[in-house]
Every structure is written in C-alpha cells, then in structure tokens.
A and B are shown apart, each in its own frame.
Chain A
C-alpha cells in the first residue's frame, strides 16, 4: 500500500450543496496554512458517484493529494458508509489532523468518526494554529461568548475539529495546480447501512438572503421590545439593506430564524453594518466576517460590539434609530 510517510492533514470533502462545498474550500485554505508549519501534505477526501468536478475543485483550492472513491453505491450521502470508509483509511494512513465542516452532516458524522478513532473532537472552532510543541491549537468560544478557550488533543491522533461555514476564507482557485489523485476501490466489506434512506428531497423553502446584502441593520436585545425592533426594517428599507438579529431576539420572536447572524445562523459581509443594542458575544460576531464599516449603538461603552465598531455611539438604541430614520428621509436623494 502506498502509505505516505509525510504527515497528512485531511479535509473531508462535503459537496452536497453550495454552503457545504464552500466550507470545504475554506478548510482547504486553512489546511494549507497549517501544513506549511508542520510540513505536512493537504489531502482532500471525496466520496460519491461521478465526483470529478469536486476532485478538480479541491485540487484548484489547495489539496496536494485526493483520496477519491467513485462508486454508484455512494450515490447518496450515508453516515454509516462514510464512517466505515474513513475509519478504514485513517487506520491505514494515520492522518495527523482531520478537518470537517460543521454542516448538519458534518456535525452528525464527525463525533462518530472521532469516537471510532478513539480521539477528541472540538466543535465549532473559530481559530486553528500550531502550538510550539507541534499540536493543533483549537480555539473555541467559551463562557457565553466573551472568552476563548485554547484546546489541544495531546495524546490521541488524529486531532479532529469541526468548523462552521464562513469562519475561514478560501484561497482563490488555481486550475493549473496539480494534485496526486488516488482513485481507490470501494472497500470490500462495506457494511450495510442500518439506517435506510426512504425518501429525500431538496427543500424548496426560500432562504433569506442576508448573506449578500451590502448594508445590514442588526438588532439585539437592547432594542427593548418587538415593536421597537420592527423599526429596524424602516432603516434597512431606506438604505436598501436587510435586517439581521441576535439569538435572544430570534428566540423572543422579534425576528425570523433566517435573520439570525452568527455561529448558529448566517455569516454576513456587508459594506456597512449597523449594530443596535447588541453586546457582541463571539457567537454573534463570528458571523460578521469582514464587515467593512461597523457602527454600533449601545448604552454601554464597554460592550464588545462597541469596541469592535469603527463608530461607537453611546446612546439609547431606539432613540438613535428613530432620529436616524427621520434624518435620512430628509437627506436621501435618489
């Protein structure tokens, strides 16, 4: 067997929809960084049927090696089949690190894989690095969101983490890159799935599209109540933007789940972000990407959101909102 002697960082190729594929590309980019420090190769795993498109894509985005299994038996995603395949490959090749996108699939699959490989798993890392002693430094939110924890898996390999889509930035594709593509046969004793897929369909529910808005008006618990919160829509309309919300606000029913910004919701990258009455917990700010220009309005100047803002307005959020709407109506010329 061609066992690679070099250390290897594996990235699970999760390609079922746009977001899944993007998180894979983002992880490849991070893997390329990490690989430089520990002198490893970046290896993408691609399982499915008719997968050449993904092999090309992951090569162009930084993979040095691709482990590909192309077989009709893998036509649809299956946790149990993928588990058996990767367990097998990992035991044979000893990857140093495995990175998995925190999609719904990844979040169900990764913990089981970690358990099978008898290793640890850090969920939803917001940063990854290499420690002085050569370990994967897994940085994850803790204590409600203003603290970060540095986690390591000292003794067990592979070191495994999941990462939410939008946390890292993909590198631009380069279709002249080459990777070593190993096309592997499906393992002989692939276990039969005990979970039978009876029916599946792509949901037609329309997704809220705040991800692409160039102006976003976000509101948090500091808006006070539902009616005051609704006024954010007036400002968003004037600015041709969209409304985002924090989790307590969504839980209170002031906004739809589609408006949730953060780790558990949408990742946004607006040119201008207004942040009304938001404290700035990391689970929220993790979704802010690189907002170009942030204006925060908060009564508390010490709030993290105020420190992260380019313009920090110390005032009552609803008062500023009302006045801003009134002023803008006077000033805007189409």
Chain B
C-alpha cells in the first residue's frame, strides 16, 4: 500500500478570471477561491497512481477556514483523508515558514508517507519554493516540474523538461515531486461526489499549537523575509493621446509617425497621405 500526500493551496481567481468588460477592471467581488491549477495536476497524478496500485491519499492545506473547500473538492475526487492547518498565527507566512508548518503536519499526521506531491507553482505568487523547501525540511530526494511518474517497486522514475533539457530521473521512496501542468489533465468533479463531500465532516482541522508551534518559536523559526512597503509603480510617460473613430485615429497615427514606422519595418509607408478612401 502506497502512502501519498498531496499539498494543495487555495488561490484567488482574481489575477486571471473575473474581469469586468465594461470598466476593464478586475471584479474583486467575484474573486472566489479555487484549487490552484498546478495542485490539481498534482492531485490527478496521485489519483492515477491510486488507480494503478493500492494507495491512500492524504491532502493537506494551510490556509484560512475557507480553504476547506479545496479539501472537500479533493475528497470528492478520490482523496481519502484531508487536513486543514488553520491558525491566525500563520497568516502572512513566507515559503520558509510555510514549508516548516507543512513539515510539522506531515510528521504528525502521516509520518509513513512514501511520496509527497506538490504543484510546481501557484497562480497567485508563483514562487515555486514550497516544494523544494519541503524536500529540504524532510530531507528527501526530490524533483521539480515533473511531467510523468512511473513506479517500480520502491523506485520512482520521473520525466521532466528543465531549461530545454529533457531528463529522466530515478530515486527511491520516500521522495517528493512537484508536478507541472504539462500532463495529468485534471478530471472533472462529479456533482454527486462534490455534494456528498461537502455534506460530511472528515476534514481534520489543526491549529498551530497542535503542531507544537507557538508564537515565540514561530518568531525565531518562521518567516525570514519581511515586506516593508507596498506601492503603486510609477508608469506615466510623456505621451501622445489619440482619440476618435478608428479610421480617424489610424490616419492621424500613420501620418504622424510614417517615417518612424518606415525605418523600423524597412519598407516605406511615407508620402501617400489620406487622399483616397
């Protein structure tokens, strides 16, 4: 029986999805959380392993109470056990602290794991640091950006593409991989399953204290990076603004910049002003 752990993160959809066509701004009101896409691929990889071998899947997330949704979704898809690590103390953790907390949870709840699967990166901050740092904390052989996994006994063989090199790597369990979005296209959640999963309990909730983490310890062992300031970037250039009907602005633009464009494209568009039409 293989013991798999999948780390999931809930991310807001804002950066890519809901967008108001009228005002051209993001609809923050529609910024619901979703399972991070690469995490979905990691879960899919685990589910495919489970279909082939006998396996048990634990899913873990650290996040606010609402992050429970992604765990329920994972249970509906076929995960066997779900753990939510939720504590105000942990808010704002950087990847150093996040990997520390996930490690504590894994050591407590599933110390006998064979394989940990993470997404390669998240859609909201995309540091791609948590997987490698977990591997370091747990002292595991690991590979990032994995596209394909094969298991032979206790040996894991993976394929990946890094910096234009196609690599095949092997390591022994226990191990860690981060899964890219090249392969393992996530399956759809069946509505029935989803409803059932949302109905039951079955999500284990752990606070920091349960993991042996208190404020003073976290101060020393937690986040290394500190955000001092967040600011709007300056972008205003001295520029020319053109406004009007499409044909008016295009004509004005071409007349004004014909020389510049001709030089750049190496063909002439000069001379012939808008006498025809």
Q: How many A-B residue pairs have CB under 8 A?
A: 246
> Which residue from chain A places its CB closest to the CB of B137 in the assembled complex?
A115
Residue contact A111 to B145, C-beta cutoff 8 Å: no
A200 and B167 contact, Cβ closer than 8 Å, known pairs A147-B230, A323-B246: yes
Interface residue B23 (Cβ < 8 Å from any Cβ of A): yes
> Which residue from chain A places its CB closest to the CB of B266 in the assembled complex?
A240
Q: How far is the CA of A323 from the CA of B142 in the complex (A)?
A: 54
Contact partners of A145 in chain B: CB under 8 A: 15
| 0 or 1 for each of A303-327: is its CB under 8 Å from B? (1 = yes) | 1100111111111100110111001
Interface residue A8 (Cβ < 8 Å from any Cβ of B): no
Q: Which chain B residues in 108-153 approach chain A with CB under 8 Å? A: 125-130, 132-133, 135-137, 141-145
Contact residue among A107, A201, A222, A334 (Cβ-Cβ distance under 8 Å from B128): A107
Residue contact B170 to A241, C-beta cutoff 8 Å: no
| 0 or 1 for each of A70-85: is its CB under 8 Å from B? (1 = yes) | 0000000000100000
Q: For residue A77, give the distance in angstroms from its CB to the closest CB of chain B.
A: 8
Contact residue among B19, B125, B145, B261 (Cβ-Cβ distance under 8 Å from A108): B145
A311 and B15 contact, Cβ closer than 8 Å, known pairs A147-B232, A149-B229, A299-B24: no
| 0 or 1 for each of B36-64: is its CB under 8 Å from A? (1 = yes) | 00000000000000000000000000000
Residue contact B226 to A151, C-beta cutoff 8 Å: yes
Size class of the B contact interface (CB-based, 8 Å)? 35 or more
Interface residue B34 (Cβ < 8 Å from any Cβ of A): no
Contact partners of B247 in chain A: CB under 8 A: 323
Interface residue A114 (Cβ < 8 Å from any Cβ of B): yes
Interface residue B188 (Cβ < 8 Å from any Cβ of A): no
A312 and B239 contact, Cβ closer than 8 Å, known pairs A120-B96, A144-B15, A331-B254: yes
Interface residue A61 (Cβ < 8 Å from any Cβ of B): no
Q: Which stretch from B71-79, B155-163, B192-200, B202-210 is at the chain A interface?
A: B155-163
Q: For residue B13, give the distance in angstroms from its CB to the closest CB of chain A.
A: 11
Contact partners of B136 in chain A: CB under 8 A: 111-112, 115-116
Q: How far is the CA of A196 from the CA of B260 in the complex (A)?
A: 55
Q: How far is the CA of A314 from the CA of B246 in the complex (A)?
A: 9
Interface residue B265 (Cβ < 8 Å from any Cβ of A): yes
Residue contact A154 to B269, C-beta cutoff 8 Å: no
Interface residue B216 (Cβ < 8 Å from any Cβ of A): no
Extra pairs beyond A138-B225, A154-B226 (6, CB < 8 Å) = A105-B163, A144-B14, A153-B225, A272-B260, A300-B24, A309-B239
